[in-house]
Amino acid sequence: MDEIKNKFWAIGGGKGGVGKSIVTLMIGASLAKLGNKVMIVDADLGGSNLHTLVGIRYPKNTLADFISKKVETIDEVIMDTPVENMKIICGADDILGMANPKYTQKTRLLNHLKRLDADFILLDLGAGTSFTTIDFFLYAPNKIVVLTPQITSIQNAYGFIKASLFRCLNDIFSKEDRALELIKRLSSPVNGEGIDSVAKLCDEFKALGEQQQESLLNCINSLNIKLIVNMVKDTKEKNVGNIVRSVAKNYLGLTIEDLGVVQFDNILNTSINNMAEFLTKRRDSMASVHFYDIASNIIKSCQRSSSGSLALDAPKISA
């Protein structure tokens, strides 16, 4: 995983309507304007729309063509965007069953994606907690969960994080019945006998042996999840991410990093139908400044985990 530990970023969140595609696009554009080669990938195979946002009405080739082997290489589905240094791989929602590709199809796709010549590859995931969405999320070494201050979004963001952890645990211990039974007691009590936190699950795992307990801790520590609170309208709403981080820490044992907050911006909101022009011409958006800060935080995060350098010398976007 070392070769992709900095370049792969998955953007999910569970609930639809929280702005995942806009967040993906704006982060990608900000990273590109900082001089990095960026690939945005519409991994919402059941309802893609990322291409529409960058002004591509009818993609010549899509991810579905690659998955179904109508084209042999991933390079054949790459398209330019209006932003210099940023390219896109379009998704598609017009092929029956494409929203749930087979394991071999997903493996082939991810193997090809990691070979792309890009500093950053951003996966825009679909809504919900389907196995395909969670698998893409878990594959990426860097994971971003997007939520808004709405209570339903907060609940769904936490549910998405929890589903990701349990998907990871069930995969690791898929052949160990005793371990799976303990994990099940954490996810849903059996006959009223539940385990109410990952900390207590770790205690229960002591009986299974040191190796199993170490595998459990490695899974928890490997979930490098970061949080973005989007469409914030007042100071109080900036703190809603603390709710998710606190519950995730206390119940799931996960330490989630705050990647940034994006203020609700009417300029951006009214530009969604013409995002291609907004990305290339508008500089008076406060949201653009916040996305630039988030992109800078992403680069700094990569620099902390690697001695390699990434571009961070472009002028700041002014409000």
* 265 pLDDT higher than 70: yes
Range of the domain at 86: 2-305
Instruction: Answer whether residue 316 is part of any domain.
Output: no
Instruction: Answer whether residue 222 is part of any domain.
Output: yes
Instruction: Answer whether residue 77 is part of any domain.
Output: yes
Instruction: Answer whether residue 139 is part of any domain.
Output: yes
What is the pLDDT, as a whole number, of residue 81?
A: 96
Instruction: Answer whether residue 81 is part of any domain.
Output: yes
Q: Per the structure, how many domains does the chain have? A: 1
Taking only the tens place, the pLDDT of each residue in 58-91 is: 888 888 888 888 898 999 999 999 999 999 999 8
- DSSP β-bridge partners for residue 78: 89
CATH of the domain at 186: 3.40.50.300
Residue 291, judged by CB atoms within 10 A of its CB (0-12, 13-18, 19+), counts as: buried
Taking only the tens place, the pLDDT of each residue in 131-181 is: 889 999 999 999 999 999 999 999 999 999 999 999 999 999 999 999 999
Are residues 11 and 160 in contact, defined by beta-carbon separation less than 8 angstroms?
Answer: no
Instruction: Answer whether residue 188 is part of any domain.
Output: yes
Other C-beta atoms within 10 Å of 153: how many? Answer: 24
Instruction: Answer whether residue 233 is part of any domain.
Output: yes
